[in-house]
Structure 1
Amino acid sequence: MIGLFAAAGLTLGAIVVSPQQPLEHRTQIEHASGAIDAEYRGIVTLDARQIGHPAPGGRAATLRCEWNADMAVEREARHANGSLLSRSIDGSKALTLTRAGWCNAHRSDVAQHFAERSDELRSRLVATAEADRAVLIAQVERQLAMAGE
Protein backbone atom coordinates (compact mmCIF):
# COMPACT_ATOMS: atom_id res chain seq x y z
CA MET A 1 0.00 0.00 0.00
CA ILE A 2 2.83 2.42 0.79
CA GLY A 3 4.34 1.77 -2.64
CA LEU A 4 1.07 2.90 -4.22
CA PHE A 5 1.12 6.21 -2.33
CA ALA A 6 4.83 6.70 -2.94
CA ALA A 7 4.47 6.13 -6.68
CA ALA A 8 1.56 8.57 -6.85
CA GLY A 9 3.41 11.22 -4.84
CA LEU A 10 2.64 11.80 -1.18
CA THR A 11 2.65 15.31 0.20
CA LEU A 12 3.83 15.38 3.78
CA GLY A 13 2.52 18.83 4.56
CA ALA A 14 4.22 22.14 4.84
CA ILE A 15 6.55 23.16 7.63
CA VAL A 16 7.64 26.72 8.22
CA VAL A 17 11.35 27.36 7.93
CA SER A 18 12.96 29.98 10.15
CA PRO A 19 15.97 31.38 8.34
CA GLN A 20 18.70 32.70 10.60
CA GLN A 21 17.48 36.25 9.97
CA PRO A 22 13.84 37.16 9.35
CA LEU A 23 12.97 37.72 5.71
CA GLU A 24 11.98 41.37 5.68
CA HIS A 25 12.55 44.19 3.25
CA ARG A 26 11.69 47.85 3.74
CA THR A 27 11.64 50.51 1.07
CA GLN A 28 10.33 54.02 0.51
CA ILE A 29 8.69 55.08 -2.73
CA GLU A 30 8.44 58.74 -3.62
CA HIS A 31 5.07 59.81 -5.01
CA ALA A 32 3.77 63.25 -5.97
CA SER A 33 1.25 63.05 -3.11
CA GLY A 34 3.86 62.02 -0.52
CA ALA A 35 6.19 59.20 0.44
CA ILE A 36 5.03 55.60 0.71
CA ASP A 37 6.79 53.44 3.30
CA ALA A 38 6.50 49.76 2.40
CA GLU A 39 7.44 46.68 4.39
CA TYR A 40 7.59 43.25 2.77
CA ARG A 41 7.66 40.08 4.86
CA GLY A 42 8.56 36.74 3.27
CA ILE A 43 6.98 33.61 4.71
CA VAL A 44 8.84 30.48 3.65
CA THR A 45 7.25 27.02 3.79
CA LEU A 46 8.77 23.68 2.85
CA ASP A 47 6.74 21.09 1.04
CA ALA A 48 7.91 17.50 0.61
CA ARG A 49 6.69 15.05 -2.00
CA GLN A 50 7.61 11.37 -1.79
CA ILE A 51 8.26 9.83 -5.23
CA GLY A 52 9.13 6.32 -6.33
CA HIS A 53 9.12 3.22 -4.18
CA PRO A 54 11.50 1.04 -2.21
CA ALA A 55 12.72 -2.14 -3.88
CA PRO A 56 13.19 -5.63 -2.50
CA GLY A 57 16.73 -6.78 -1.71
CA GLY A 58 19.09 -6.84 -4.68
CA ARG A 59 17.10 -4.34 -6.76
CA ALA A 60 17.63 -0.61 -7.13
CA ALA A 61 15.10 1.55 -5.32
CA THR A 62 13.57 4.61 -7.01
CA LEU A 63 12.54 6.21 -3.73
CA ARG A 64 13.33 9.92 -3.46
CA CYS A 65 11.92 13.06 -1.92
CA GLU A 66 11.39 16.36 -3.73
CA TRP A 67 11.51 19.41 -1.49
CA ASN A 68 10.21 22.83 -2.50
CA ALA A 69 10.70 26.03 -0.56
CA ASP A 70 7.80 28.32 -1.39
CA MET A 71 7.69 31.96 -0.37
CA ALA A 72 4.54 34.00 0.13
CA VAL A 73 4.99 37.73 0.64
CA GLU A 74 2.90 40.04 2.80
CA ARG A 75 3.13 43.77 2.08
CA GLU A 76 2.09 46.61 4.36
CA ALA A 77 2.55 50.10 3.03
CA ARG A 78 1.71 53.38 4.67
CA HIS A 79 1.14 56.50 2.60
CA ALA A 80 2.13 59.95 3.88
CA ASN A 81 -1.59 60.72 4.43
CA GLY A 82 -1.74 57.79 6.92
CA SER A 83 -3.62 55.28 4.80
CA LEU A 84 -2.56 51.63 4.97
CA LEU A 85 -2.27 49.51 1.83
CA SER A 86 -1.87 45.76 2.38
CA ARG A 87 -1.40 43.00 -0.14
CA SER A 88 -0.69 39.27 -0.08
CA ILE A 89 1.43 38.06 -2.95
CA ASP A 90 1.06 34.37 -3.71
CA GLY A 91 4.05 32.19 -3.05
CA SER A 92 6.19 30.81 -5.78
CA LYS A 93 8.68 27.98 -5.81
CA ALA A 94 11.76 29.78 -4.64
CA LEU A 95 14.14 26.85 -4.21
CA THR A 96 14.03 23.10 -4.84
CA LEU A 97 16.03 20.12 -3.63
CA THR A 98 15.88 16.36 -4.22
CA ARG A 99 17.19 13.72 -1.81
CA ALA A 100 17.24 9.93 -2.21
CA GLY A 101 15.21 7.97 0.33
CA TRP A 102 12.31 8.77 2.63
CA CYS A 103 11.32 12.41 3.20
CA ASN A 104 11.17 12.07 6.99
CA ALA A 105 14.79 10.91 7.09
CA HIS A 106 16.01 14.27 5.72
CA ARG A 107 13.64 16.78 7.35
CA SER A 108 16.18 18.55 9.61
CA ASP A 109 19.02 18.43 7.03
CA VAL A 110 16.75 19.93 4.38
CA ALA A 111 15.52 22.70 6.70
CA GLN A 112 19.16 23.57 7.45
CA HIS A 113 20.01 23.52 3.72
CA PHE A 114 17.29 26.05 2.92
CA ALA A 115 18.20 28.20 5.94
CA GLU A 116 21.78 28.37 4.62
CA ARG A 117 20.40 29.66 1.32
CA SER A 118 18.56 32.55 2.98
CA ASP A 119 20.47 35.07 0.82
CA GLU A 120 18.78 33.60 -2.27
CA LEU A 121 15.41 33.81 -0.55
CA ARG A 122 16.11 37.41 0.48
CA SER A 123 17.00 38.26 -3.15
CA ARG A 124 13.66 36.83 -4.24
CA LEU A 125 11.90 38.96 -1.63
CA VAL A 126 13.60 42.13 -2.92
CA ALA A 127 12.70 41.19 -6.52
CA THR A 128 9.09 40.66 -5.46
CA ALA A 129 9.07 44.10 -3.81
CA GLU A 130 10.45 45.71 -6.96
CA ALA A 131 7.83 43.95 -9.10
CA ASP A 132 5.11 45.18 -6.70
CA ARG A 133 6.12 48.84 -7.04
CA ALA A 134 3.79 49.58 -9.98
CA VAL A 135 0.89 47.81 -8.24
CA LEU A 136 1.46 49.81 -5.06
CA ILE A 137 1.59 53.13 -6.92
CA ALA A 138 -1.63 52.22 -8.77
CA GLN A 139 -3.31 51.42 -5.44
CA VAL A 140 -2.25 54.78 -4.01
CA GLU A 141 -3.49 56.66 -7.07
CA ARG A 142 -6.80 54.75 -7.04
CA GLN A 143 -7.24 55.52 -3.33
CA LEU A 144 -6.45 59.21 -3.88
CA ALA A 145 -8.90 59.39 -6.79
CA MET A 146 -11.65 57.84 -4.65
CA ALA A 147 -10.92 60.30 -1.85
CA GLY A 148 -10.97 63.21 -4.31
CA GLU A 149 -7.43 64.31 -3.48
Structure 2
Amino acid sequence: MSIIIAAGLLLGAPIVDSHRVEIDHQGQRVAVTYHSELAVTHRQVGSAGPAGRPSTLRCLWKANVSVEREARSAAGHVLKRTIASDTPIEGSRPGWCSGQSAAIEQEVAMRSDQVRAHLLAVAERDREALALELDAAHSPARG
Protein backbone atom coordinates (compact mmCIF):
# COMPACT_ATOMS: atom_id res chain seq x y z
CA MET A 1 0.00 0.00 0.00
CA SER A 2 1.36 3.42 -0.90
CA ILE A 3 0.10 6.85 0.11
CA ILE A 4 1.43 10.11 -1.29
CA ILE A 5 1.32 12.85 1.32
CA ALA A 6 2.20 16.41 0.41
CA ALA A 7 4.46 17.59 3.19
CA GLY A 8 2.37 20.67 3.80
CA LEU A 9 -0.85 18.72 4.21
CA LEU A 10 -0.02 16.26 6.99
CA LEU A 11 -2.54 16.51 9.80
CA GLY A 12 -3.98 19.63 8.20
CA ALA A 13 -0.98 21.76 9.26
CA PRO A 14 2.09 22.65 7.26
CA ILE A 15 5.18 20.82 8.45
CA VAL A 16 7.57 21.86 5.70
CA ASP A 17 7.39 25.13 3.85
CA SER A 18 8.78 25.52 0.41
CA HIS A 19 12.27 26.92 0.34
CA ARG A 20 12.73 29.92 -1.96
CA VAL A 21 15.96 31.55 -3.03
CA GLU A 22 17.02 34.05 -5.64
CA ILE A 23 20.35 33.59 -7.33
CA ASP A 24 22.29 35.69 -9.78
CA HIS A 25 23.29 33.81 -12.93
CA GLN A 26 25.25 35.64 -15.60
CA GLY A 27 23.80 38.95 -14.48
CA GLN A 28 20.18 37.75 -14.42
CA ARG A 29 18.03 37.01 -11.39
CA VAL A 30 16.70 33.48 -11.12
CA ALA A 31 13.89 32.68 -8.67
CA VAL A 32 14.20 29.11 -7.38
CA THR A 33 11.59 27.23 -5.35
CA TYR A 34 12.21 23.88 -3.66
CA HIS A 35 9.20 21.94 -2.39
CA SER A 36 9.40 18.62 -0.54
CA GLU A 37 6.93 15.79 -0.97
CA LEU A 38 6.67 12.59 1.03
CA ALA A 39 5.71 9.20 -0.35
CA VAL A 40 4.77 6.94 2.56
CA THR A 41 4.65 3.19 2.04
CA HIS A 42 3.45 0.52 4.48
CA ARG A 43 4.37 -3.16 4.78
CA GLN A 44 2.47 -5.55 7.03
CA VAL A 45 4.61 -8.13 8.87
CA GLY A 46 3.94 -10.75 11.54
CA SER A 47 0.72 -12.59 12.31
CA ALA A 48 -2.28 -12.39 14.58
CA GLY A 49 -1.81 -14.65 17.61
CA PRO A 50 -4.28 -17.39 18.49
CA ALA A 51 -6.58 -16.81 21.45
CA GLY A 52 -4.59 -16.11 24.60
CA ARG A 53 -1.29 -15.57 22.75
CA PRO A 54 0.25 -12.25 21.78
CA SER A 55 0.13 -11.01 18.22
CA THR A 56 3.34 -10.31 16.29
CA LEU A 57 1.62 -7.95 13.83
CA ARG A 58 3.62 -4.85 12.95
CA CYS A 59 3.27 -2.21 10.31
CA LEU A 60 6.64 -1.17 8.88
CA TRP A 61 6.51 2.22 7.20
CA LYS A 62 8.91 4.27 5.14
CA ALA A 63 8.62 7.92 4.04
CA ASN A 64 10.74 8.75 1.01
CA VAL A 65 11.35 12.44 0.56
CA SER A 66 11.57 13.93 -2.90
CA VAL A 67 12.27 17.57 -3.65
CA GLU A 68 10.75 19.39 -6.60
CA ARG A 69 12.81 22.29 -7.90
CA GLU A 70 11.47 25.00 -10.17
CA ALA A 71 13.75 27.77 -11.40
CA ARG A 72 12.42 30.77 -13.33
CA SER A 73 14.93 33.07 -14.94
CA ALA A 74 14.32 36.67 -15.97
CA ALA A 75 14.98 35.50 -19.55
CA GLY A 76 11.83 33.37 -19.36
CA HIS A 77 13.43 29.96 -18.91
CA VAL A 78 11.68 27.57 -16.53
CA LEU A 79 13.73 24.61 -15.34
CA LYS A 80 12.07 21.85 -13.32
CA ARG A 81 13.69 18.88 -11.68
CA THR A 82 12.79 16.20 -9.14
CA ILE A 83 15.52 15.17 -6.72
CA ALA A 84 14.86 11.87 -4.92
CA SER A 85 16.14 11.12 -1.44
CA ASP A 86 18.38 8.20 -0.69
CA THR A 87 17.74 8.31 3.07
CA PRO A 88 14.09 7.67 3.93
CA ILE A 89 12.46 8.24 7.30
CA GLU A 90 11.42 4.86 8.71
CA GLY A 91 9.51 3.42 11.62
CA SER A 92 7.13 0.71 12.75
CA ARG A 93 3.86 0.50 14.65
CA PRO A 94 2.22 -2.48 16.37
CA GLY A 95 -0.92 -3.91 14.75
CA TRP A 96 -2.52 -3.70 11.32
CA CYS A 97 -1.30 -1.04 8.87
CA SER A 98 -4.90 -0.12 8.03
CA GLY A 99 -5.42 1.10 11.59
CA GLN A 100 -2.14 2.97 11.93
CA SER A 101 -2.44 5.74 9.30
CA ALA A 102 -3.08 8.57 11.76
CA ALA A 103 -0.29 7.43 14.11
CA ILE A 104 2.16 7.15 11.21
CA GLU A 105 1.21 10.64 10.00
CA GLN A 106 1.91 11.95 13.52
CA GLU A 107 5.31 10.25 13.61
CA VAL A 108 6.23 11.71 10.23
CA ALA A 109 5.02 15.16 11.35
CA MET A 110 7.17 14.91 14.50
CA ARG A 111 10.18 14.39 12.24
CA SER A 112 9.49 17.52 10.19
CA ASP A 113 12.87 18.91 11.27
CA GLN A 114 14.56 16.03 9.42
CA VAL A 115 12.50 16.73 6.30
CA ARG A 116 13.32 20.46 6.50
CA ALA A 117 17.04 19.75 6.96
CA HIS A 118 16.94 17.44 3.94
CA LEU A 119 15.18 20.09 1.86
CA LEU A 120 17.81 22.70 2.71
CA ALA A 121 20.69 20.27 2.07
CA VAL A 122 19.24 19.35 -1.33
CA ALA A 123 18.89 23.03 -2.22
CA GLU A 124 22.53 23.65 -1.32
CA ARG A 125 23.80 20.61 -3.26
CA ASP A 126 21.66 21.54 -6.28
CA ARG A 127 23.36 24.91 -6.89
CA GLU A 128 26.03 23.53 -9.20
CA ALA A 129 23.61 21.38 -11.22
CA LEU A 130 21.23 24.33 -11.56
CA ALA A 131 24.06 26.58 -12.79
CA LEU A 132 24.94 24.00 -15.46
CA GLU A 133 21.29 23.70 -16.54
CA LEU A 134 20.98 27.49 -16.73
CA ASP A 135 24.17 27.68 -18.82
CA ALA A 136 22.74 25.13 -21.24
CA ALA A 137 19.40 26.97 -21.42
CA HIS A 138 21.08 30.32 -22.15
CA SER A 139 23.58 29.02 -24.69
CA PRO A 140 22.67 29.35 -28.37
CA ALA A 141 21.56 26.15 -30.09
CA ARG A 142 24.38 24.28 -31.75
CA GLY A 143 23.87 22.96 -35.22
Q: CA deviation at 1:48?
A: 0.8
| Matched residue, 2:136 | 142
In structure 2, C-alpha distance between the alignment counterparts of 1:33 and 1:147, rounded to whole Å = 20
Map 1:1-149 onto structure 2 (within 5 A). Answer: 12-16=1-5, 18-19=9-10, 20-21=13-14, 22-146=16-140
SS at match of 2:76: coil
- 1:143 partner letter: A
- 2:138 partner letter: L
Q: CA deviation at 1:136?
A: 0.5
Identity %: 34
CA RMSD of the aligned region, Å?
A: 2.1
Tell whether the 8 Å contact from 2:2 to 2:39 is kept in structure 1 after alignment: no
Q: CA deviation at 1:56?
A: 1.7
SS at match of 1:121: helix
Q: CA deviation at 1:99?
A: 1.1
Gaps (5+ residues) in structure 1?
1-11
Judging changes above 3 Å, is the alpha-carbon distance between structure 1 residues 41 and 54 closer, same or farther for their aligned structure 2 residues?
A: same
SS at match of 2:139: helix
Q: CA deviation at 1:125?
A: 0.9
TM-score, normalised to structure 1, is 0.79
Gaps (5+ residues) in structure 2?
none
Tell whether the 8 Å contact from 1:69 to 1:93 is kept in structure 2 after alignment: no
